[in-house]
Chain A
Amino acid sequence: MSTAQVNAWIQVATTLIEVGYKAEGLIKTLIAAVHPGMSEDELAVICDDVLADATVRQAMADRDSGAA
């Protein structure tokens, strides 16, 4: 499964949560859906995506809290 597909799965999971889908067991299903042998490069891309989005989101939160 490619990194793009993994990201798509996460997006689907997030959307399901957003629309009220019961999240119980969702993460287990999500992880089970991803093949158990993701490469270091694939995991690195996900980590980089988390870092990039968290940076943007934290800046947004700081603006809204008046800290920035």
Chain B
Amino acid sequence: MKRLALALLLVLVACRSVPVKQAAVITTSAVEHALAVAQDAERALCFVTPAVEAGPICTNPAAVTVKWSNEQHVAFEQALSKAFGIQKVLAPALKNWHPGDPPPASLSALLKAAQDALNFAMAVSGQTATALFVSDVQKLVDEIKVLQGRVR
């Protein structure tokens, strides 16, 4: 137990010593990866062969089985498009973020957009193997919200 407490203490100390720009860049990158995984998971549910298929119509019978409609597919991808669009703005802003400058406003926008995208994914919770993944990504977003408090 003492070892665990010591390990937790070391992690917290190390985390506090990380510059805020580094924390913001790493978390933004992690969110981008998490959303990319969510996109791949949704496309695997929607399409029989996601590597070659695209569009607003799901072809995978599994989507019907879990009641994942074409409308939900489109809404999910629209939310993802918004989130990725914000990341396209945020990444250069973070790159050019100098010490002493206020943090990019798009950081807050990214978290909101990521939350919106995950809310759509939650629609399939409890019905597919992606439910656990979505649950964990939700925790990831919560972690980032805590970190964002340090960035401000």
Contacts and interface: CB of A to CB of B under 8 A. Distances in A.
A57 B121 CA distance: 16
Dominant SS at the A interface?
Answer: helix
A14 to B, nearest CB: 4
A27 B140 contact: yes
Contacts of B140: 17, 23, 26-27
Interface residues on A, range: 35 or more
Contacts of A24: 139, 143
A48 B90 CA distance: 11
Contacts, number: 158
Dominant SS at the B interface?
Answer: helix
A10 B17 contact: no
Contact of B18 (A23, A31, A61, A64): A31
B30 A54 contact: no
B23 interface: yes
Nearest to B24: A43
B81 interface: yes
A65 B77 contact: yes
A52 to B, nearest CB: 9
Interface of A: 6, 10-11, 13-14, 17-18, 20-32, 34, 36-38, 43-44, 46-51, 53-55, 57-58, 60-67
Top-10 shortest CB links A-B: A32-B14, A58-B84, A61-B81, A47-B95, A54-B87, A65-B77, A51-B91, A64-B77, A66-B56, A23-B136
